[in-house]
Structure 1
Amino acid sequence: MSDVFDVKKYGAKGDGSTIDTRAIQKAIDACFDAGGGYVVLSGGTFVSGTIFMKSNVYLQVNPSAILLANPDIGDYPDGTHYNRYTNETDMDKCFIYAEDASNIGIVGEGEINGNAERFPNEGSIYRPMMMRFLRCKNIHVKGLRLYNSTAWTTAFLDSENIWCEDLDIRNDRRYNGDGLDYDGCRNVFISNCKILGTDDNLCLQASSKDYPMKNVHITNCHFTSICAGIRIGLKSVGDISNVAIQNCTFENVWREGIKIECSEGGSITDIVAQGLLMRNVSRPIFILLNNRLDEIGSSIGLNDMPEIGIMARIMLSDIIATDDDEMMNTHYRFTDDVMGCPSFNGIRVDACDSYPIRDLTIKNMTYTFVGGVKKEDIPAEYPKVWDMRFDHPPKVSENYYPTWSRTTFMDVRNVERLALEGLKFHALQEDTRAPYIIENCGIHKEDIIVYS
């Protein structure tokens, strides 16, 4: 092993009450000055505020150690803010931060705890994000238990060569409970991670044309989310491409399993997902191509309504999605934020008439839906996706609306070269809506069986 710097030798106590911020930072600085190595936390609970990582330094949290966020917000200085959502200005602070660094890591088999119960729940700058990496290269986050962040667990921004492996992420105490978030990154490898959260478990986004999101590998992971399991897009000013998802499980996901949405003028292309098992996922597949500009979820650099972008070459295959009695219920985020219910559920693919999705394949999928919805209990008129640069109705089909489905299993509109092969649908209870609707699509192949 390279040079080892034990934080206790730099004054850290690890007794769970002493503030060890300065001692940990002193060890990191010494490690950096010596040319790099490992800064080790072992045998205790180390309470700290913001830690600034530096090149060639690995922070190692051993199994016997906990790195615990200091509840005193005064221990989190400014200068770590780089959030790109216009409506989320409240996550300025950061627990572990790196900027323009290379060859860095947060590793070990110990625990990093964001101490979420000691911070506000939402709408406050006094909620430090657990980790943020800006313009960094060669990053390893491996083997850790990442628990109780006050906001997002991680944010990787404009960075490259990233490995996130063997992580146990639990972020179920506060709003904005994301797991792994990547924006404008390339060469990303995610494997053997278990993620539980109150928001999207894993996000791939591109909020700038200068930094495309590409070359992403996601394998052998498990997702449980009040929102989406894997979300690709929304923030899509730039391009997202070359994403491979394989051998993942999804359980109790109250909105979408695989969610792909190009909404800010860029492109999302060349996506493959295969070998997925889903249990109690409200919408196993959600794909949307549109344009939008409002205060909810728009990129900070987007000032004008963009032309609708491009979505093409997406293949989803070998998927089993199964509901049980749990999906008869309406599911909430905390107390009053409805996330899903039987009338909301199902596969949805949608686009504007004049900007279709191209080359979409859904192959070898078995979907068992709880059913039980009556057609007369949902609105008769289903809104369309409109080009929002021009005149449009007050209610249009978009990222969070409508909140109901007009079909039992699958609704697909405006796709050129659509291939549906080996799809098997079954409802546990009688459902009087149409089983599926395929509208304004150029069908390459259709093979759908609906079981009674």
Structure 2
Amino acid sequence: MRDQYDVKQYGAIADGKTVDTKAIQKAIDDCYEAGGGCVVLAGGTFVSGTLFLKSNVYLQVNSSAVLLANPEISDYPGGTHYNRYINEKDMDRCFIYAEDASNIGVIGQGEINGNAESFPNEGSIDRPMMMRFLRCKHIHVKGLRLHNSTAWTTAFLDSENIWCEDLDIRNDKKYNGDGLDYDGCTNVFVSNCKILGTDDNLCLQASSKDYPMKNVHISNCHFTSICAGIRIGLKSVGDISNVAIHNCTFENVWREGIKIECTEGGSITDIVAQGLLMRNVTRPIFILLNNRLDSIGSSIGLEEMPEIGSLERIMLSDIIATDDAEMCKTHYRFRDDIMGSPSFNGIRIDACESHPIRDLTMRNILYTSIGGVKKEDIPAEYPLVWDRRHEHPETVSENYYPTWSRTTFMDVRNVEGLSLDGVRFRALRPDTRDSFKIENCKAYKADVTES
């Protein structure tokens, strides 16, 4: 058995022009047949289409190598489809793919480049994800620069025992510029990653009752996003639980820092986020419990409006969120997609009155908001969250609406068991809105001050 398989010995040219897909795949196949080992890329730019990883095989991109996505969509065959958003068929193809494999990895100190500017090809809508792992076990993605994906950077689906470490992810060229996405995964470890993108930097979801999302550890990471830093939920048909987030920084996040959305009938429970520093994050904390079914974010297989699920036992502590002059601006994704503005700023926590959030603790939070909004410049009526299985007004509060905040700092509504301890607010500019609102919250105790 050989430990390493140099793809140049299989005829790979690595000149940045010649397509090396067949040579790299042949090395992977031989490595697998021999019982496993490392397939090594070193010394040049290797152009490739879809690569199929197999059990006991590690793809190693050395510091002297770049793995570059072939700009021809014909080099990305079918058989890699498993995107669970019904409205995103253009992301079914994939650059690096594994299914029902174990003990696999993509490692090294080199770069994998998705060649985002080259997609979609003329006559095609397809934009391949960089990596997708379906029903895999014992996965390592470590040490790499993952740049310029043409869609999501990674998707881990129904998988377990996953380590993502020491990654530099840059996905800022296209829509759907996610970083690390996990759906229905167990035992996830993310550490020392720097993520920049046009969508959610890191996302935890559960599209199926058969595969809960649980036992997640996120530490020592840095997030910059046109959308959200860390998102938990939206797709929550199944359950999400046991999530620990520690010692992370957020900078220039134009929507939400920590975003928790239970929207598709499952449960989100037992979440701890501690020791977070945020600079210029439009909504440092966003928590919502509701139900929805529409073309954005609907899970494949979700065919009717679900009953509202449960969101319980959330603890957020030791958080400093600070705005500077940058937050006076309105921020866009690309040219015309508004993501945030001063009137949108603030902490928002909301639920349907008949289905409250339960047991929420926020402790030692210092929030310096840009302020500067006049109360008369925002709509007077702030809509409620409704159970959308029943009759409700035409306008209801939901995941992307309202697009303004009625308070300068914090709006909390419909929480049973709310504890606020050492929560401090300060505005950089005069603001005539209410400083904060606490409505219909039971078993409520608070230490909240404004300076």
Same fold (TM over 0.5): yes
Structure 1 segments unaligned to the other structure (5+ residues): none
User: What is the distance in 2 between the residues matched to 1:221 and 1:158?
Assistant: 24
Residues 39-62 of structure 1: per-residue CA shift (max 9 Å, x gap):
000000000000000000000000
Question: Where does residue 215 of structure 2 map in the other structure?
Answer: 215
User: What is the distance in 2 between the residues matched to 1:399 and 1:67?
Assistant: 38
User: What is the distance in 2 between the residues matched to 1:305 and 1:19?
Assistant: 47
Question: Where does residue 106 of structure 1 map in the other structure?
Answer: 106
Which has the larger displacement, 230-239 or 292-301? 292-301
Residues 48-105 of structure 1: per-residue CA shift (max 9 Å, x gap):
0000000000000000000000000010000101000111111111000000000000
User: What is the distance in 1 between the residues matched to 2:407 and 2:29?
Assistant: 59
How does the TM-score come out when normalised to structure 1?
0.99
Question: Where does residue 51 of structure 2 map in the other structure?
Answer: 51
Residues 178-233 of structure 1: per-residue CA shift (max 9 Å, x gap):
00000000000000000000000000000000000000000000000000000000
Structure 2 residue 259 is the aligned partner of structure 1 residue 259: yes
Residues 158-184 of structure 1: per-residue CA shift (max 9 Å, x gap):
000000000000000000000000000
Structure 2 segments unaligned to the other structure (5+ residues): none
Preserved CA contact (<8 Å) 1:93 1:125: no
Preserved CA contact (<8 Å) 2:73 2:121: no
User: What is the distance in 1 between the residues matched to 2:249 and 2:261?
Assistant: 21
User: What is the distance in 2 between the residues matched to 1:241 and 1:167?
Assistant: 25
Q: Secondary structure at the match of 1:303?
A: coil
Question: Where does residue 238 of structure 2 map in the other structure?
Answer: 238
Q: CA deviation at 1:301?
A: 1.2
Question: Where does residue 432 of structure 1 map in the other structure?
Answer: 432
User: What is the distance in 2 between the residues matched to 1:234 and 1:126?
Assistant: 24
Preserved CA contact (<8 Å) 1:136 1:160: yes
Over the aligned positions, Cα root-mean-square deviation in angstroms equals: 1.2
Q: Secondary structure at the match of 2:156?
A: strand
How does the TM-score come out when normalised to structure 2?
0.99
Q: Which residue type is aligned with residue 326 of structure 1? A: E
Q: Secondary structure at the match of 1:349?
A: strand
Residues 114-163 of structure 1: per-residue CA shift (max 9 Å, x gap):
00011139996421100000000000000000000000000000000000
Identical residues among aligned pairs (%):
81
Residues 322-381 of structure 1: per-residue CA shift (max 9 Å, x gap):
000000000000000000000001000000000000000010000000100000000000
Question: Where does residue 191 of structure 1 map in the other structure?
Answer: 191
Q: CA deviation at 1:445?
A: 1.9
Residues 236-260 of structure 1: per-residue CA shift (max 9 Å, x gap):
0000000000000000000000000
User: What is the distance in 1 between the residues matched to 2:316 and 2:227?
Assistant: 20
User: What is the distance in 1 between the residues matched to 2:20 and 2:196?
Assistant: 29
Matches within 5 A, 1:285-296: 285-296=285-296
Which has the larger displacement, 124-133 or 300-309? 124-133
User: What is the distance in 2 between the residues matched to 1:126 and 1:290?
Assistant: 32
Question: Where does residue 75 of structure 1 map in the other structure?
Answer: 75
Which has the larger displacement, 351-360 or 112-121? 112-121
Q: Secondary structure at the match of 2:9?
A: helix
Q: CA deviation at 1:23?
A: 0.1
Q: CA deviation at 1:443?
A: 4.0
Structure 2 residue 179 is the aligned partner of structure 1 residue 155: no
